[in-house]
Amino acid sequence: MSALLVIDRLSVRYGSRDVLRALSLEVARGEIVALMGPSGVGKSTALRVVAALQPFEDGRIVVDGFALAPGPVPPESRLVPLRRRVGLVFQAHALFSHLTALDNVTLALRHVLGQSPIEADAVAEQLLASLDVGSRAGAWPSQLSGGEAQRVAIARALEPNPPLRGLLIATHDTEFARENADRVVSLTV
Amino acid sequence: MIAALALCVVAVQQHADSAVLVWGGDAEGGAPFVEADPANPSRVRGFDVEVAERIARGLGRRTTRFVQVQWSNIDQSVERSDFTLGLSGVEDTPVRRARHAVTIPYFEFREVLAVRRGDTGRIRGLADLRGRRVATLGATIAYDLLLAARESTGLIPLSYDDDVHPYADLVAGRVDAVLLDHIIAQRALRRAGGAAFVIQAQPVAVGHYVGVLARTDSVLRDSVDAVLREAMRDGSLEQIFRRWEVWDPSQMTLFERVTRTNAAARAAGAATANSALAYLPSLARAAVVTLLLSFSSMALAVIVGLGVASARVYGSAWLRAATTVYVEVIRGTPLLLQLFVIYYGLAGVVRLPAFLAAVLALGLNYAAYEAEIYRGALEAVPRPQLEAARTLGLSELQILRLVRGPQALRFALAPMTNDFVALLKDSSLVSVITVVELTKQTAIYATNVGSWVVPGALCAGVYLAMSLPLARLARRLERRWSPAA
């Protein structure tokens, strides 16, 4: 079976500083991988590059058949296949501050996948409940605790159902990562 | 110490004043009344200047000193003691006589109609102007005549702040007739080359120029009257008018009548100033104009502002440069100048109606400020919010519509409300292009009653009644949109 994600000799520089030098990694479908290391080694950078949020200088990335080349990040219109394949949970959650927890989760369901509001609400409510934050569906992001916000952010990243998901949870807390990765797996199996 | 010094200054000033006749007028009104001397612009010349000098001589004053004042403010300034005597084509009206010490008339003028050459046979009097636009200076007898005629003949009076643009607009076809003093009409005709329009021979009305003094100065006024009568008898007034080519036989008739009867016209002072109540409907109409103007301009400002802001945030380098130039040019030049350019400057290319020109000028001006607000608000949306939206697969347009726009709107709401309240008040500037809105209507009202106290308070009340609910609405929206902390 071919790898879901291939990172081949990836190099990323911020100015003159090498953040990643020749990082290579392969992840098979259904596999759970944790990138661990102290602050500043480039864990988040690697995830951001895979999600095409920032350019890289050298190497090659293939996500489920979609290849990213070194150089500037391509325009959003050319990244549609990648967006369907990668879900990302940000370190600071980055929940949309003007939407409730439920609306954060349904946004992509409705506007990317074209689901009806009723359909999307039902899916999102079920997912939030399975992550133990079902009662917080109507809360604003500023009303959520750090843990709650992270669960909502996970729900949002899982919703469009990308094949590459649990992988891209970046956190300093490896215990938490493992715990959540398990949850994600148990949800999606 | 400072008080003592101030007293000394006042004392010296008063001593100097006893030798000098300080008089006020509007040199912007121009020749032949009062104008800056082309040979020495720090001095003024004109027949009113010479009348003032003749009065000073008759009163035994050594010399005269001229104080520049806006024509419509002469009455208020003379009551404030900015000067002793106001002269500059000041009209003899019952209200003025009731409120100030007014001299005998020293010049008789005719209110004459100016029309385009093609209309010479068609428009002979106010009765021929049903449904047509007639221009004049605001707060004059001519304007009152037009207002009265609006009821009876259905003409449309337009008030201007100066006496040059009414004729320019007549030639340009923006108005169908101009009603003003014959001296002003003749001067405008000479300026326009003598063939640009026609002055109808039959006057619409007759009026008189007078000098105006503070109400408490009636003793000095009687002395001025004596000097004027003397100047009529000894021919010095006639010489002045002949020198400025404004002499005609009707002045002789006036002189004979005035020197014969003492204080003839004083009985006219019985007319009382209209009560505030009578002005309320016109103030209400003007407030509606202000509101319509402000809402239309703001709508235009928001639409253009959004376009410019989007171009500055998302556009190509060329588009960004072009919109930056727009914003800087508009912000860097006075709104008044932009109004003039759009209304008068573009008249050769496109002849915009005054209201439309006002909306365009205000809207395009405020669009520059709005654009900067929106640009700042768009850029204030945290980058992770946009990245999160991107990873979800939303297109750039969807991100703007669903994430960036709604979040930016919250940042923009407070400065936008601020701008709208400012626009509400800046809309008073458009009176320079003949749109009579709230402030202009108040100025006309104040001139008519000779005081700013009641009109000013009423006007301020109406502005507050319009702006306070806006501020409230904005606060409510802000509260509703801000997620509870």
Nearest to B484 among A98, A140, A157 (CB): A140
Q: Are residues B52 and B36 in the same domain?
A: yes
Residue-level pLDDT at B464:
92
The pLDDT tens digits for B131-151 are 999 999 888 899 989 988 988
Say how many domains are in chain B. 3
Continuous H helices in A96-145: 101-111, 117-130
Q: Are residues B215 and B293 in the same domain?
A: no
Rounded to two decimals, what is the model's pTM?
Answer: 0.69
Close Cβ partners of B137 (under 8 Å, ≥ 6 residues apart) = B71, B143, B159, B160, B161, B162, B163, B166, B180
Q: B270, B293, B309 — which closes off a domain?
A: B270
Residues B381 and B405: their CA atoms lie apart, in Å, by: 9
Cβ atoms of B56 and B227 within 8 Å: the answer is no
Which of B392, B397, B404, B480 best tests the A interface by mutation, with the highest count of A CBs <10 A? B392
Cβ atoms within 10 Å, residue A174:
11
The pLDDT tens digits for B46-71 are 999 999 999 999 999 989 999 888 88
User: Which domain does B380 fall in, by range?
Assistant: 276-481
Q: Are residues B247 and B394 in the same domain?
A: no
Residue B221 tokens read as: 């006024």
Cβ atoms of B474 and B417 within 8 Å: the answer is yes
Question: Chain B partners of A80 at a C-beta cutoff of 8 Å?
Answer: 393
Cβ atoms of B33 and B244 within 8 Å: the answer is no
Beta strands A66-68 and B63-68, pairing class: unpaired
B282 pLDDT more than 60: yes
Q: Are residues B246 and B302 in the same domain?
A: no
**Residues found in chain B:** 485
Q: Are residues B380 and B409 in the same domain?
A: yes
The domain locations on chain A are: 1-86, 88-161
Q: Does B380 touch chain A (CB under 8 A)?
A: no
Residue A88 tokens read as: 């990302």
Q: Does B476 touch chain A (CB under 8 A)?
A: no
What's the whole-number average pLDDT of chain A?
81
Q: Are residues B46 and B134 in the same domain?
A: no
Residue A113 tokens read as: 């996948």
Contact call for B410 and A112, based on CB within 8 A:
no
Residue-level pLDDT at B476:
85
Taking chain B, what is the end-to-end CA distance rounded to the nearest angstrom?
58
Q: Does B402 touch chain A (CB under 8 A)?
A: yes
Shortest CA gap B480–chain A (Å): 11
Shortest CA gap A186–chain B (Å): 22
Residue A45 tokens read as: 């950078």
Residue-level pLDDT at A96:
94
Query: Stretch B242-259: mean pLDDT, rounded?
Result: 91
Q: What band does B471 get if pLDDT is binned at 50, 70 and 90?
A: confident
Is residue B11, in this structure, part of any structural domain at all? Answer: no
Question: Chain A partners of B398 at a C-beta cutoff of 8 Å?
Answer: 111
The pLDDT tens digits for B358-372 are 999 999 999 999 999
Q: Are residues B217 and B181 in the same domain?
A: no
Q: Are residues B90 and B114 in the same domain?
A: no
Q: Does B389 touch chain A (CB under 8 A)?
A: yes
DSSP code at position B216:
G
Beta strands B40-45 and B101-102, pairing class: unpaired
Q: Does B483 touch chain A (CB under 8 A)?
A: yes
Shortest CA gap A163–chain B (Å): 13
Q: Are residues B266 and B331 in the same domain?
A: no
Q: Are residues B173 and B255 in the same domain?
A: no
What's the whole-number average pLDDT of chain B?
87
Is residue B402, in this structure, part of any structural domain at all? Answer: yes
Instruction: Report CA B432 to chain centroid distance, whole Å.
Output: 5
Q: Give the CATH fold of the A1-86 domain.
A: Rossmann fold (3.40.50)
Q: Are residues B157 and B244 in the same domain?
A: no
* Signed CA dihedral, B416, B440, B446, B77: sign only: positive
Residue B450 is part of a domain; what is its CATH number? 1.10.3720.10
Q: Are residues B170 and B302 in the same domain?
A: no
Residues B377 and B390: their CA atoms lie apart, in Å, by: 19
Q: Does A114 touch chain B (CB under 8 A)?
A: no
B154 pLDDT more than 70: yes
Residue B160 is part of a domain; what is its CATH number? 3.40.190.10
The pLDDT tens digits for A145-189 are 888 998 898 888 877 666 555 445 545 555 555 555 544 433 332
Contact call for A107 and B385, based on CB within 8 A:
no
Question: Token pair 């929206």 is at which residue?
Answer: B477
Among chain A residues, the shortest Cα distance to B384 is held by: A94
